[in-house]
Amino acid sequence: MNEVWTLAEQHNGQLKAVSFELLSRGRALADKLKVPLVSVLIGDGVDESRLRELIERGADKVYAVQDPKLSHFVCETYAKVLGRLIDEHKPSILLAAATSSGRTLMPYTAVKAHAGLTADCTELDIEEGTGNLLQTRPAIGGNIMATIKTPDHRPQMATVRPKSSRPLARDASRTGTITKIPLDETLLDQRVQVTGYRKDAEDFVNLEEADIVIAGGRGLKKAENFGMIRKLADTLGGAVGATREAVDRGWMGYPHQIGLSGKTISPKLYVGIGISGAIQHLAGIKTSELIVSINSDPDAALHKLADFGIVGDAFQVVPAIQKRLDQRKREDQ
């Protein structure tokens, strides 16, 4: 049995929280298999102390391929770098986060490695006797949980939803090795050049990591009305989410979609406005710490899950909340 790998993610030299969440998943698997747990980082600008945090949060080893040419995620290049590492070390298991980059990179890498890939796993375990990875994920619209095995190919590859596990506490006494691997420039993809990012791309990143998410649904009636959601989110320092109904209508971009076929969030505060609470939407919010529902229908399913339900017209309730928050802000100044 070979190493268990988890893929770390970085942005501007900062490690993303999912890197540590994956390590807590990987740690449990590596302990069962009695093999080392490795955190693999492809990127740029992550300094020694941050790399060390990967060890302190569960990794036995870190393989870091860092170079200014890797500072932006380019799927083809990252897949070639990761593929080279896989060829050299032949890990048994490779886990990545089901983020936009993880969801793009892993299928690409799996094809190149002739390996299987199970996306969006909620549970991972090791099968007794065989040591195979048991990959459990919702199937058939979330109605059943399917457990998938990949007995014949290695690595066994899976993506895991962000916020579906907690990082291990930092333990400064943990020891491990950090191996810095220089970039082989022949692996750079010549066809793709990153020229810049759209400003609103930042929102996409924020949603899964945000402590506060204000989400809107079909009850908002039209795209322009998302303006009041964005204003509320800005006031509270939060991010904007949406239901599939709102996304399908083009009121919000897909990266804002929360739910079974969107993102899983686990903020401290989730406010759902004009959202009925369909099971597929609830799948993405149920680990939120505090859930508030604003809906004119007293029987809305989201009210039942919510810690606080406000039965009322969103177009009266939201401006009233906004007014109160603005007033409070003025008083605090």
Ligand X SMILES: Cc1cc2nc3c(=O)[nH]c(=O)nc-3n(C[C@H](O)[C@H](O)[C@H](O)COP(=O)(O)OP(=O)(O)OC[C@H]3O[C@@H](n4cnc5c(N)ncnc54)[C@H](O)[C@@H]3O)c2cc1C
Which residues are documented as binding site? 218, 243-244, 257-261, 274-281, 295
Query: Near ligand X by CB under 6 A, which window of 100-108, 129-137, 174-182, 291-299?
Result: 291-299
Pairing state between β 61-66 and 177-180: parallel
Among 278, 305, 322, 325, binds ligand X (CB under 6 A): 278
Bond into 319 cis (ω within 30): no
Q: SS3 of 38, please?
A: strand
Q: Give yes or no for residue 117 binding ligand X (CB under 6 A).
A: no
Which residue, 19 or 243, is less far from ligand X as judged by CB?
243
Among 91, 155, 219, 309, binds ligand X (CB under 6 A): 219
- Contact characters 125-164, ligand X, x per CB under 6 A: ----------------x-----------------------
Q: What's the CA gap between 247 and 92, in Å, rounded?
A: 38
- Shortest Cβ distance from residue 267 to ligand X (Å)? 16
Q: What's the CA gap between 25 and 134, in Å, rounded?
A: 13
174-183 burial, b for 16+ CB within 10 Å, e for fewer?
eebebeebeb
Q: Please report, in range form, the residues annotated as the binding site for FAD.
A: 218, 243-244, 257-261, 274-281, 295
Q: Give yes or no for residue 246 binding ligand X (CB under 6 A).
A: yes
Q: What's the CA gap between 263 and 95, in Å, rounded?
A: 18
Q: Collect contacts of 312-315 with beta carbons under 8 A, ≥24 apart.
A: 314/219, 314/220, 314/273, 314/274, 315/225
Q: Give yes or no for residue 266 binding ligand X (CB under 6 A).
A: no
- Shortest Cβ distance from residue 111 to ligand X (Å)? 25
Q: Give yes or no for residue 240 binding ligand X (CB under 6 A).
A: no
Q: Give yes or no for residue 319 binding ligand X (CB under 6 A).
A: no
Continuous segment of H or E residues that includes residue 242: strand 239-242
Among 116, 162, 217, 238, binds ligand X (CB under 6 A): 217
For helices 100-113 and 75-89, the axis angle rounded to 10 degrees is 50
Q: Which residues of the chain form contacts with ligand X (CB under 6 A)?
A: 141, 217-219, 243-246, 257-262, 274-276, 278, 280-281, 284, 294-297, 300, 313-315
